[in-house]
Structure 1
């Protein structure tokens, strides 16, 4: 039996899309809040270095600094209560775990080898996904549909080994390999860019300090540069560009080796084992990503 269709994210169980959406929303909220918090810190430092007195006593700049700190406090309380970072990590953990189980089932990789009947394989899939749901924090991802195998997944599983191998190599391994390679390159460039930016800020800060010491600059420019350096360093730490670049590069190298190995397989038992190992290689990067953030590891 040949297989001419692909297997994309839209063909996976609804739970994948629910978890993926929850993760993306959490990520967007967390990143926006972090940018705002760091921006408020820099703005407060800049205002603290100035004096704006519409009258004889009241300092408008100091009032704005107080408002900036109050806004930061409110933002911190919101982050503590809403915790979008947790939704980001937990949602991604569940989405990727469902995705890897779906691919295992669809191409008859371990533990869903062709040695199982269709009913047995489907029941095992449902059981494994239900375990993931049971282990996941209940308030991070709200399950809105029953666990099910999609028609496209069943169609892929029913195809012959040659068709499943082609499907898996093109739409899973090659897709992930391209994604990891692209992310490794972009994160490496961003890491270098931010390193250079921080070096420039440090250099400007040093010059500003000398100018203030010599009386050439009267306001607290060194303090502003120190706040800008702190905000930049915090953002660099949050985004983890260097660590991600290394992790993605390693994953891409691993998948390149996996692709070569899978191309030569023409035995069902060997395919089930090797395709299962391939999914382990993909899952390993996600596990490392979650562990680096102290998140639920599914």
Structure 2
């Protein structure tokens, strides 16, 4: 189902920065783990070429690469850039949909533009975003946002169904399925590596080969476990699936919601969507994201 909405300019800056941070973190983490595995291979045996031990050289180069990537991750912290960027994009998205749909704290009939801009500024940590390009867009309330907000209740309800609830329900369902598949795949590989470690230990114990295959496969299994922890496949799968189910319930309720009860419905739906992101941050040891401007006036 196709639906077009133009988000505020801050959204695209934060989204691009988050994606860049994620890509750099994933690539550096993957390279570091591969380097540590290669170092374990280098320490497993010996192969001389003149006065040079090729396995030892492999271990040396691999440890240098691992040290370099560790230093890069510590000094540039692309993981934090990824998390901060996603926090900003999720905040802008939920605030935007509250505004265009006429949900709390921007019910229809209120002068919401100034409040939207103020809460957008309060809710996004601008110091954590990269400097904008000179030609970057600056509009925070787009024509498309105004068009949806100025529509009738039936039009806003349909737009919210197609552009927000169904879009997010499908996205979360696909992410849940992908994380389930990856979790099962990597778990199977980890079991295979552990079995290979048993074989490697037996081969060395009975003197068939004088190569430390046990160390190699142990390093591979440890690296795979570290990768699965970094990607949090199991936790993500559960969070995505739960949100997809919650949004399915909201779709079922949508047609029975009256115009008077609409701001409350939008508020509940946005809170359900935001729950996944809050839990995503919690699994990474981060606090709750800033939520100023996204609660209803009746809340403390």
When normalised by structure 2's length, the TM-score is 0.91
Partner of residue 84 from structure 2, selected from 80, 86, 90: 90
Matches within 5 A, 1:108-257: 108-116=102-110, 120-133=111-124, 136=125, 138-142=127-131, 146=138, 148-257=140-249
Q: Which has the higher helix share?
A: 1
**After TM superposition, where is structure 1 displaced by more than 4 Å over at least 4 residues in a row?**
143-147
1:52 & 1:75 partners in 2: Cα distance? 27
When normalised by structure 1's length, the TM-score is 0.91
The yes-or-no answer on 1:264 pairing with 2:253 is no
Deviation of 1:190 (Å): 1.2
CA RMSD of aligned residues (A): 1.6
1:60 & 1:210 partners in 2: Cα distance? 25
| Alpha-carbon displacement from aligned partner over 1:54-99 (angstroms, at most 9, x marks no partner) | 22x4323213312211221121111111110011000000001001
Deviation of 1:151 (Å): 0.5
| Alpha-carbon displacement from aligned partner over 1:142-184 (angstroms, at most 9, x marks no partner) | 4565462000000000000000001100111011111111111
Deviation of 1:217 (Å): 1.8
Deviation of 1:140 (Å): 4.3
Q: Partner of 1:264: helix, strand, or coil? A: coil
1:16 & 1:213 partners in 2: Cα distance? 59
The yes-or-no answer on 1:292 pairing with 2:283 is yes
1:230 & 1:142 partners in 2: Cα distance? 39
1:209 & 1:6 partners in 2: Cα distance? 57
2:52 & 2:140 partners in 1: Cα distance? 66
Q: Partner of 1:138: helix, strand, or coil? A: helix
Gaps of 5+ in 1: none
